[in-house]
Structure 1
Amino acid sequence: MHIHTEMGEIGNDEIMHIHTKMGEIGDHDEITHRTVSVNGIKLHIAEKGTGPTVILLHGFPELWYSWRHQISYLASRGYHAVAPDLRGFGDSDAPKSCDSYSMLHIVGDIVALIQVLGEEKVFVVGHDWGAIVAWNLCMFRPDLVRSVVALSVAFTPRNNLRKPLDTLRLVFGDDYYICAFQETERAEGEFARIDTKLLMKKFLTYHDPKPVIVPKDKGFSTPPEKEIVLPSWLSEEDIDYYTRKFEHTGFTGGVNYYRALDLNWELTAAWTGAQIKVPAKFIIGDEDLMYHFPGAKEYIHKGGFKKDVPLLQDIVVIEGAGHFINQEKAIEVSEHIYHFISKI
């Protein structure tokens, strides 16, 4: 496998403790779980290890579980690895109102979590939506962040001229998956008509760099044309864990992140033109759909990214890797995270 890098080498008395049931997550049963009160909601976190704290933020449709490999890896190297279920996911609270999923709310949860953990500064790692949360945490509260590692989603400066959904519809049309997510029937309605386990397999095995277009006559619930064979990095037990959690919570909390895109645009007007002034590293797979988003490669490699994130120290493109890179390339990603934060 080839890895390309551009810039260098590669407690609180109110807390309720809940320990992982033996066997529920296989080799990761030493990870402990607790629920903490933050920002008016209950947030479930998984954690392991002692030392400097690394907060790991997942994406959609994922959970703390997406970081299971990194949690154990970092803990074994002298770090306190903490992975929350973000609001709306897993065992954390899921407010009903879409307006409760603005970036101010979600970053507010993480700021409160840092306080609950008793930390002044933390390392932050994010993937997919978690990367967006991590970038915004760095923009809103750089004083709390030692460094950031973002996976799959580069920092996106605010476009002062056009709302995000208007831009997506202009580029991809109404059948682009994020646009389809704006409609309850085209999201939760269709998710309810397909077996959750099959849906999770479709999501997590998606390995196509082309934009996700979902025509109305097909939709998210269309059965796959052939049986889905799990890749070596994803087991039936992994799928079962995700399935149990999403069968319990549904997908509305996660989809609300997409529905708050325009709200975020309105609320962050004061940060138009703001730079990310935190030491940063970016990792992406060359088969990740986000790497093939129109203009993404030019922005990442030709100066725009570095201008917006002046302390960006490294860009890593892993060949043959798709979107769920922290699971697909668990060892490589863990090593990249460790080698970066260990130098800060």
Structure 2
Amino acid sequence: MSPAASGCCCVGANLTYMKTTHIKANGIHHKLAYAGAQFNDQANTKNPLILFLHGWPDFHFSFRHQLMKCAQHNYFAVAPDMRGYGGTSAPTTTKEYNVYTLCNDVLGIMHALDYEQCFLVGHDWGAWLAWHMCLIYPDAVVAVCALSVPYVIHRPKGLLTHLKQEYGNCISGTLQEKQGSRFNYMLHHNLPHAAEEYDKNVREALYRIYGYIKGVTECDDPEVDTDEMFLLDKKRGKFDGDLTARNAPGLWKRLPRPKALPAWIPESDFERYVSEFEKTGFSGGLHWYQTPDLNWGLTRHLNDTKITQPVLFIGGDLDVVIKTHGGAKSVETHLVTSCPRLHKCVMLKGCGHWVHQEQPDVVTGHLLNFLQSVERKKTFKEHIKSRL
């Protein structure tokens, strides 16, 4: 790997540092954070690669707790800024964020690092991408750990199509249809002014998104503390007006405002997020919400395909995403069916959406146990020629 630029990124918690570098892969520039080395000089072997894929609204810093711990166990731990985020290129057309392009980003990063295979760890949209890497490039994925977002084996229609039917078409419907719509944050993220609303309120938006954990954080606005907070407005029904209007409140305005940040995200870490999104804006990341129907059409032939790699799933029992999938028991039941090599389905009590940050030691412990169990059964292909 020939980095275009590199440096050290000092972080909090129990970490010493992680390094950053830039590479070019799949036609764009990618910023990577990494810890550990490609080579184990003492054993004269390569260290297995773990790629950590973040979601929204996030960047490589999301995995600050995991990188150094995994490196200490002789893994080469790498967390890229995903396409549209942080220091990675952010193309302006939605089609450049389709599932095949995103998978080719991951594969391109892997090859730029001179690996043919890797372990994948994904959170939120990163989990969704990790699942699709297992389907589209199965030989490249040794095993997968998905955080917060379970695998959905069967989709009879595109997600946006389903949401429009469920909540109303606020994207391309008639004025009457828009005014009759109920709020759904994924649909709202398809509106042209959605990114602008976040960009004008970066600190407050991130404060509410990261600071709110259902059932844990004391909020100034408890009347909206319900399982449906992401889906409906405070009236639990129709918005009195056009959902596409610029004054129609988006996701962050509908979230309760925490009295303080939770203990798992210190002020210094939160400031890293604010600084990053003040520089980059939100438009790149929102493209991921605009491709579900396109991706459904591109991957219809993969519908009902089981995940054949070893799987570890970790979720939080307070996570609204888990609740929208029917709850913890439903998630595990479906994973047992769709992932025949399911190692374990872990539901962390008292934990919300950001499991790897809320309970980092627990998550990393489960991850390392899983990786080591897989390694005892499978050897990586040898394909290393260069080092950082």
TM-score by length of structure 2 reads: 0.79
Matched, 1:340 2:370: yes
Q: 2:321 aligns with which of 268, 290, 293?
A: 290
RMSD: 2.0
Equivalent residue, structure 1, for 2:56 = 60
Amino acid in the other structure paired with 2:20: H
> Contact between 2:185 and 2:250, CA under 8 Å: does it hold in 1?
no
For the Cα contact (< 8 Å) 1:180–1:214, is it kept in 2?
Answer: no
Shift of 1:29: 5.6
C-alpha displacement of 1:220 = 3.9
Q: Tell whether 2:200 aligns with 1:193.
A: yes
Comparing both chains, which one has the higher relative contact order based on Cα–Cα distances under 8 Å and sequence gaps of 6 or more? 1
Q: Cα 1:76–1:225, aligned 2, differ >3 Å: closer, same or farther?
A: closer
* Deviation for aligned residue 1:65: 0.3
Answer with 1 or 2: which has the greater Rg. 2
2:27 is aligned to 40
Aligned mates of 2:364, 2:121 — CA distance in 1:
11
C-alpha deviations, 1:310-339, integer Å up to 9, x for none?
A: 111210011000001110111100101001
2:294 to 253, 263, 277: 263
Which of 309, 313, 338 aligns to 2:343? It is 313
CA distance in 2, matches of 1:130, 1:255: 14
Letter paired with 1:179: L
Q: Secondary structure at the match of 1:35?
A: strand
Q: Can you list the C-alpha shifts for 1:61-105, whole angstroms capped at 9, x where unaligned?
A: 011100000001111111110000000000000000011111111
* Stretch deviating more after TM superposition (202-211 or 248-257): 202-211
Q: Which residue of structure 2 aligns with residue 210 of structure 1?
A: 227
Contact 1:54–1:122 at 8 Å: present in 2 too?
A: yes
Aligned equivalents of 1:159, 1:288: Cα separation in 2? 22
Alignment CA distance shift 1:128-1:226 (3 Å): closer
Query: Relative to structure 2, which stretch is displaced further, 227-236 or 147-156?
Result: 227-236
> How far off its partner does 1:222 sit?
3.4
TM-score for the superposition, normalised by structure 1: 0.89
Residues 224/317 of structure 1: CA separation in 2 closer, same or farther (3 Å cut): closer
Change (3 A) 1:168 1:294: farther
Q: CA deviation at 1:109?
A: 0.3
**Residue of structure 2 in register with 1:241 after alignment:** 272
Aligned residue pairs, count: 327
Q: Partner of 1:222 in structure 2? A: 253
Distance change >3 Å, CA 294–CA 154, structure 1 → 2: closer
**In the alignment, residue 335 of structure 2 is paired with which amino acid?**
F
Q: Which residue of 2 aligns with 1:179?
A: 187
Q: CA deviation at 1:298?
A: 5.3
